[in-house]
Structure 1
Amino acid sequence: MRILVVEDETALREQLNQALKRKHYVVEQAADGEEGLYLAREWPYDLAIVDLGLPKLSGIELIRRLRAEGVALPVLILTARGDWQDKVQGLEAGADDYLTKPFHMEELFARLNALLRRATGHASPQLAFGPVVLDTSAQQVTLNGAPLELTAYEYGTLEYLMHHAGKVVSKTELTEHLYDQDFDRDSNVIEVFITRLRKKLDPDGNLKPIATERGRGYRFVLKAQGT
């Protein structure tokens, strides 16, 4: 998942950057509101973390402009303790949730996971499709109750496909949302990840969880449990 961090405090911005990358998020940073607005307009993000007290353009104005332009990515705002008016203004401008400084990273990750699930229509941290269950909180996958060993890239690819189950996801979309800018977009690496996932999820060749839509991309085809 690709996340935009807009924070002017250098130490906190780098702390967020490192913590998110350890959780295998792709992170891009902006140090002021104008740069944050530019990046949010130009690139597809799954979520943005926005400090309200930004130079050049406030976080509230950044959010207002994005919403006025129809940019619907989930936004988590960061506010100073006790500034309840800022929280109200941020939510009214179009933010989806807020976190008060200082905060624990565990709470940040819990709120991010909740926003990402909500944006893709999933209420539970566990995405259950047939015998395949992906736990977004623990970042673990099981097949028929047995844990699967996946690389970070394999997990990220599967998580994105399962969040968008039933929809065709192009290789370009996967690359933009999951991998750093220096990722080799012209290579067949995505095909390699898909091949590995198919072997691990479907060793007997009976389940066929990931379909190839020729010339369009890939689609996770298993039905959600309970449907």
Structure 2
Amino acid sequence: MRVLVVEDHTELADSITRVFRREGLAVDTAYDGRTALDLAIDVDYDVVVLDRDLPDVHGDEVCAELTAGGARTKVLMLTASASIADRVEGLGLGADDYLPKPFAWAELLARTRALGRRAHPVREPVLARGSLLLDPARRTASHAGTQLPLTAKEFGVLAYLLGAEGRTVPADELLAKVWDEVTDPGTTTVKATVNRLRTKLVDRSAIQTVPGEGYRI
């Protein structure tokens, strides 16, 4: 899941980013509304965690542009105000959820993941193809009955490939959805991660390389 954190208080923004990355999310960070809108032009974010009270380009304007035209991106709006009127107004601007500051890290993460699930077409709770099973809620995966000890990125790649339901997924699409802006797009990160993932499968051929196109299960 690809997330954009937009918060002008750099310490809070960096803290949110660290927590999300530790939990296996791909996260980009913007400290102002203009940068956020520029990033959203190039990246199809699943969720944007958006501070409402941004200087220059206000969070309300950012929210309106992000959700214009029925965009798939979900917006979780943050604000220092906890009044019901402000929550109603924020949701009326197109935000999908609203969380007042200060907040609990566990709640922020849970709400973000819930919005991420809503950003995609409804899928079975457990992703399966053949003997490969992955449970996104429990963060577990198995192959032919054997539990797979996966890193966060390996889990993300496997989940995305299973969710593609047999479609060949280009490497740059995996890079965009499982990694974030700190990853050099010219690296062999995707190939190396897929290769490590294969070594943990009961049958390495379960993940196929389609020359010149990408990977599929």
TM-score normalised according to structure 2 size: 0.84
Task: State the SS of the aligned residue for 1:5.
Answer: strand
Structure 1 stretches lacking a partner, 5+ long: 221-227
Of residues 12-21 and 90-99 in structure 1, the stretch that sits farther from structure 2 once superposed is 90-99
Which residue identity does 1:198 align to in structure 2? R
Percent identical residues: 40
Q: CA deviation at 1:150?
A: 1.5
Q: Distance in 2 between matches of 1:199 and 1:155?
A: 13
Per-residue Cα deviation, 1:127-164 (whole angstroms, up to 9, x for no partner):
34443332334433233554211223212211222333
- C-alpha spacing 1:136/1:211, structure 2 compared with 1 (3 Å): same
Instruction: Spell out the pairing of 1:99-118 with structure 2 (5 A cutoff).
Output: 99-118=99-118
Give yes or no for the alignment of 1:216 onto 2:216: no
Which residue identity does 1:219 align to in structure 2? R
Q: CA deviation at 1:48?
A: 0.8
- C-alpha spacing 1:58/1:145, structure 2 compared with 1 (3 Å): farther
Q: Distance in 2 between matches of 1:82 and 1:19?
A: 23
Instruction: Spell out the pairing of 1:52-201 with structure 2 (5 A cutoff).
Output: 52-68=52-68, 71-122=71-122, 126-201=126-201
Which residue identity does 2:12 align to in structure 1? L
Q: Distance in 1 between matches of 2:6 and 2:152?
A: 25
Structure 2 stretches lacking a partner, 5+ long: none
- C-alpha spacing 1:126/1:182, structure 2 compared with 1 (3 Å): same
Query: Is the contact made by 2:146 and 2:202 (CA closer than 8 Å) also made in structure 1?
Result: no
Task: State the SS of the aligned residue for 1:4.
Answer: strand
Of residues 134-143 and 124-133 in structure 1, the stretch that sits farther from structure 2 once superposed is 124-133
Q: CA deviation at 1:79?
A: 3.0
CA RMSD of aligned residues (A): 2.6
In the alignment, which residue of structure 2 is the partner of 1:5?
Answer: 5
- C-alpha spacing 1:203/1:78, structure 2 compared with 1 (3 Å): same
Q: CA deviation at 1:7?
A: 1.1
Q: Distance in 2 between matches of 1:96 and 1:172?
A: 28
Task: State the SS of the aligned residue for 2:67.
Answer: helix
- C-alpha spacing 1:99/1:135, structure 2 compared with 1 (3 Å): farther
Q: Distance in 2 between matches of 1:198 and 1:149?
A: 12
Which residue identity does 1:181 align to in structure 2? E
- C-alpha spacing 1:57/1:204, structure 2 compared with 1 (3 Å): closer
Per-residue Cα deviation, 1:40-81 (whole angstroms, up to 9, x for no partner):
123232221011111112222111112225542121111335
- C-alpha spacing 1:56/1:163, structure 2 compared with 1 (3 Å): farther
Of residues 182-191 and 93-102 in structure 1, the stretch that sits farther from structure 2 once superposed is 182-191
Q: How many residues are treated as equivalent by the alignment?
A: 217
